[in-house]
Every structure is written in C-alpha cells, then in structure tokens.
Structure 1
C-alpha cells in the first residue's frame, strides 16, 4: 500500500535551490521503483529574495503552514546582501524553535571512494553520530545590545546561554535511546563544566542521573577541547556523542570534514514527539561562490532525505537511497569538493542509475 506524505520544500538561498531540486528528482526515481510511498511536494519561496521583497524571511503565518506538513526538506540559508544573523534567525532557527525541533542528529559517515584526511579511515570502520541539543544552550537567543549612545567604544552586548533541566534531560535520553540501536552502546557526553560552572554543571548532573537509567550503555564525560582532539586521534572510540547546541555544531562540522567534505553531511532537526513536522537539511550552507554553476554537491541533501524517509517510516527505501549514493561515490562520480569533476547533474544521474 502506498503511503502519501506532504513535504514542504524550502530551498531558500544559493546552492540550496540546486540541491533541493536534485533531491526531489532522485526521490521521484526512488518512489517510481519502490512505490511504497508518495511525496506530495509543497514549495515555499522563503529566503533572502523573499526578505528583500517583504522585509522578513518568511511570512507571519509560515509556521502554521508548516504544521500542516508531514516533514520539511530544507536547502540552505544566507546571502551576502543580508547579514547572516538576520537570515538564520529569520528562517532556519525560527522554524527549529517555533516547531520545537529539539533534537538535531548529524551522522558522521565515511563513504567509499571519498578521500579522508584521517589515515586509514576506511580500514578503521569509523562511524558515529553527533546528537545536538537544538533548542536552547548557547543559541537560545537571550541577550541584547545596549549603550550604543556612549562616546567611543562604549556599546555592550550580552549573550546568555540557557540550560534547563528538562531540555538537558530530553536530549540525553534521546542519545541513550539511539545508542541502544547501535552495535556499540556508548554515549560520550561533551561538557565544559570546569569553566562554565552553572549551565554545564547542570548538564553534567543531568547526564549522570539519566545514565543511571541505562546501565546497559557505556558512558564517558569529555571536555569539549579534549573531545575535539579525540575526534581526530581516537575516532574509533566514538558511537553517540551528545553535546550542547554550540559544542555539537562545531564538533559535527569537524567530523564531516574528517569524512571528506561538508558537502556529504546530512542532518535531521527532529521533534521526537511528532507534535510538529521535523526538518531535514544538508549542513554545507548556501555557498554563494559556486551558486548557479551546477557544481554543488547534492549528496548531503540526498542523505538528509534518507533520514527523512527513516522518520516517515520507510527504512528500506532509505537504505536503498544510501546504497545508491555509495555506489555512485565508489564509481568516482564525485564533485570537486571531494576531489572529482562531476556536476550536480552527473551525481543525480549516477545515483538514479544506481537505484
């Protein structure tokens, strides 16, 4: 029986328009070959162009429109004509916070045929997941700027990190539950409680309490600077890494670079209770320097779409998409960010053929 899903497509800016269109084409081919699902696309023209016309990145009723969807496929946000904090807070973060997509999942996967700066990476069977608290912490948006009228350099900016016991607990339980599905049941907790004596000490305390409910899962607590070193020096010791909004943001990008390119990196912004739709997006950004040239790497968006299919209840189809991506990469169909000369269209055709 074919299951219908309503999907919001928000390409937004730069290469986001190219990779979202490429992904829609590949998903269309997948559903033709395996008609267990049907995607009904709803396109939204939100982004910098919308801002330049309307003075905002999305309409006031935008979140209400998204709540009628089953999932969201997002491209990338940001363009040189508008400050990044306006584009990010006006669209992507507005969606994440407005729909309470509190769990961000970023797999770190080493694909065949893709060179890695890590020695013998493919022989070491490296594979881990960064679980990022996606609703509070350092990106809560609490603070402000004041005293701009003072003489000289007198302005003051305050940016407050907010950690709540409920927010810490839910992301940690999510990480432990995820660890129970993996071959190695281990959760690594990233902290900086030696220097941040309030928020991160609460983070540590909640982790210790939650860990007691999962005696079958191995745990460790690692300072964020030491974890950055561990990503490079001992990545085989990682399975699930749970971290605050800022720490996981940085570490997950490090992991993706180790795997070969940010162009390969997928992510899911989840509302695990399914009270609102979840959003799936690559993490490479809008890349204004190559936008419109047809050379953007769509793999990160393909793999984000695979996460979306998992979330919608189609794990077999998600697995087929991942296998097709790996077949294309193993056949050296690679864009220039991972050492090849393929165009976006070349990758679409290779993955479609591999399906």
Structure 2
C-alpha cells in the first residue's frame, strides 16, 4: 500500500521558485524508485512578495490553518525590493516557524567532493559538523518596540529584547545531546556570549551544565561566540554538534557554509519535534534577486533540505541516497557559478537525479541479493 506524504510547497521569491522546482524533481525521483511504497502529493502556495503587492500581506490570514494538516512544508526563499526585509521575514517565514513552534533548526555543514573550500584544513581531512539553532526565542523572539518618535528627529528609541527561558534552553540543548549520540564523534559545543550578556546567556550556560550531567558519554565544551568563529576557521576538526541561540547559530551556520564553499550548499530543517505541527525544510540562502530567473542558481541547498525531510519521515536510506547523489554530482564537476563552475541549475539537478537513480538501483540490488 502506498503511503502518500502531503507536502506544502512555498517557493516564495526570487530563486526560491527555481530551487524548489529542482528539489521537487529529486524528491519525485526518489518516490518513483520506491516501487510504490510512498509518494508525494504537492500543493503549491503562491505566497511571498508578489502576493504582498496584490494583497498587502505575505500570506493570507488563514494561511497557517491551511498548512496545519500537511506532513511537511518545503520552502524556497523570501525577500524582494518591494517589501522591507523585516516585513517579509516576519510576514512569512518567521510567521510559520514561530506559530508552528518549530523550535529546533538543524543546519549541517557539508564539505563536498569537487568543491574548493577557502579553508586549508579541508584539503587533507574530512570535515562534517551540524549547527543546532534554537529557533523559537532568543534574539528573534520579536519582543520590543520603537517609541518617542514624536519628540522629533534623533529622539526615537528602539528596544529589542532577547528571551531565554529555562524550558526553551533545555529542550534545544537536550536535542543537541541526543543528536550527538547518533554521530561518530559524540561531542556538543555550546556557544554563548555570557561574559557580556549576563542574564539570558548565563541561564543558557547553567542549563547546558545541568543537562550535560545526564550525558556522560558525550564530550562537551562551552565557547564564547567570537572564539567559536575563530574555531570554525582554525580548528574545524574539533567540531561535531554545535548548539547556540537563534542569532549566534544563524551567523555561525552561514560561516560554516561559506567555508564549505558557498551558501548555496546550505540546507536546513525547522523542526517541531513533538509533531504537533508540520516541520519546514528550506535552503539557507536568500532570494538572490541579482540572479533570479537566469537558471544559474545553486539547487543543492534545497535538494539537501529535501534529504533532511526524507530523514524526518524515517526514510533514512533514501535520504542517504540523495546525499550520496549530491556528492557524486559535485565530484564529477557539475558545479554552478557560485562554486566556480559553469553548470546551470537544470544541469546540476539532472546530474543529481541521474546519480540518484543509480544509487537507488544499487541499494535495491543489494536488498534483493
């Protein structure tokens, strides 16, 4: 009997439409090779900056209700010149992640064969780590306001407050420890700036120390964010799972992807681990207006996000096959311009699908034998 996964696709803006289309091709190829075990039922929502131009909002007021019954959300990128960035982010992406309590954000840092890294340490060693980002509170809680503008130019005051709760810190830190137990290197690096931010991030440090006592099999370290930025560059071989607050993990994960070769490689999963709401999977890169519609954007971040979605559904072998296909494609020289190549979005997608079909056929032959 075929299991059908209902997926809400939100391409949104710019290159989002191109990379979501590429990811769908790969995921549909996975389903086609499953011998009827599962399929994907896609529903696409036309939300984003163009929708805003027509309706004055990034998504309709009942948009969250429309998404509730889907098994997952596959997101592209949001942002265009007709909408201020903070409006587009809070009007769509953060509207979904906050209201669906997608509190765990996973961002793997992948160094792929055939991709030149600016990091010399990547030349002679295998580097692979995961940034776990607290995704529901911290610096992106949205607390604060702007006041006193009526007093005239130069008198307005803006207050932006970070929110750290014991519960919020514990659940993401515990998530990181559980993830570390699944990896060959069982280590969690906690990142804060608690020497300067002496309330919320000291609470984080205290919760980390408390939770760590329950995981004696997992190595730990607590590192200030500036020192961790240096470690990403100078000693990346010491990293396995890095857990940090909303803002710090956002910045560090972008640094990791740049070290791996390009933000176009970066995948992410916004998870509601309890399953009360659908989780959302998206590439880390933005809408890239400068190259949108030219067919040259890098689809790997979106395709790798699709692999994270497969793993979320428990389709581990299929997720691994997609990741192996990405490695085969880049190793064979199928690289977009951001990686120093000349391949188009379609070229890379086709190469990954072709490698994927071979990978899945090999897996099937092994199982049959």
Name the TM tier (shorter chain): over 0.9
What SS is found at the alignment partner of 2:321? helix
Equivalence map 1:155-234=2 (5 Å) = 155-234=156-235
Deviations 1:97-126 (A, max 9, x none): 010000000000100000000114042111
Deviation at 1:51, TM superposition (A): 0.7
Once the two structures are superposed, the pairs formed by residues 54-65 of structure 1 within 5 Å of their partners are 54-65=55-66
| Contact 2:283 2:302 (C-alpha < 8 Å) held by counterparts | yes
Mapped to 2, the partners of 1:175 and 1:280 lie a distance apart of: 18
Kept in 2, the 8 Å contact 1:265–1:282? The answer is: yes
Q: Which 4+ runs in 1 deviate beyond 6 A?
A: none
The answer as to 2:117 corresponding to 1:116 is yes
Q: Residue by residue, what CA displacement relative to the aligned partner does 1:234-272 show, whole Å, maximum 9, x if unpaired?
A: 000000000000000000000000000000000000000
Deviations 1:63-89 (A, max 9, x none): 111111000000000001110000000
Task: Please give the alpha-carbon distance, in whole angstroms, between the structure 1 residues aligned to 2:38 and 2:231.
Answer: 41
Contact in 2 for aligned 1:110/1:122 (Cα 8 Å): no
Structure 1 residue 317 corresponds to structure 2 residue 318: yes
Matches within 5 A, 1:319-338: 319-338=320-339
- Cα displacement (A) at 1:34: 2.4
Tell me the distance in 2 between the aligned counterparts of 1:57 and 1:159: 23
The number of residues matched between the two structures is: 355
CA contact under 8 A between 2:299 and 2:348: conserved in structure 1? Answer: yes
How does 1:1-355 map onto structure 2 within 5 Å? 1-35=1-35, 36-355=37-356
Q: Structure 1: any 5+ residue segments left out of the alignment?
A: none
Q: Deviations over 1:6-57 (max 9, x none)?
A: 0000000000001001111121122112233200001100100111111110
Deviations 1:137-167 (A, max 9, x none): 0000000101111123111000000100000
State the Cα RMSD in Å: 0.8
- Output the CA distance in 2 between the equivalents of 1:243 and 1:345: 35
User: Aligned partners of 1:327 and 1:316: how far apart in 2?
Assistant: 16
CA–CA separation in structure 1 for the residues paired with 2:210 and 2:109: 27
TM-score, length-normalised on structure 1? 0.99
Return the alpha-carbon distance in structure 1 between the equivalents of residues 232 and 172 of structure 2. Answer: 21
Over residues 316-348 of structure 1, what are the superposed CA-to-partner deviations in whole Å (9 max), with x where a residue is unaligned?
111111111111101100000001000011011
User: What's the secondary structure of 2:151's corresponding residue?
Assistant: coil
Q: 1:2: how far off?
A: 2.9
Distance 2:28 2:231 in 1: 40
CA distance in 1, matches of 2:355, 2:153: 62
Which piece of structure 1 moves more, 79-88 or 116-125? 116-125
Q: In the alignment, is the contact (CA less than 8 A) between 1:333 and 1:340 conserved in 2? A: yes
Give the Cα separation in 1 of the matches to 2:240 and 2:326: 22
Structure 2 residue matching 1:149: 3-state secondary structure: helix
Secondary structure class of the residue paired with 1:123: coil
Contact 1:112 1:122 in 2 (8 A): no
Query: 1:207 and 1:120 mapped to 2: Cα distance?
Result: 29
Given the two structures, how large is their TM-score scaled by the length of structure 2? 0.95
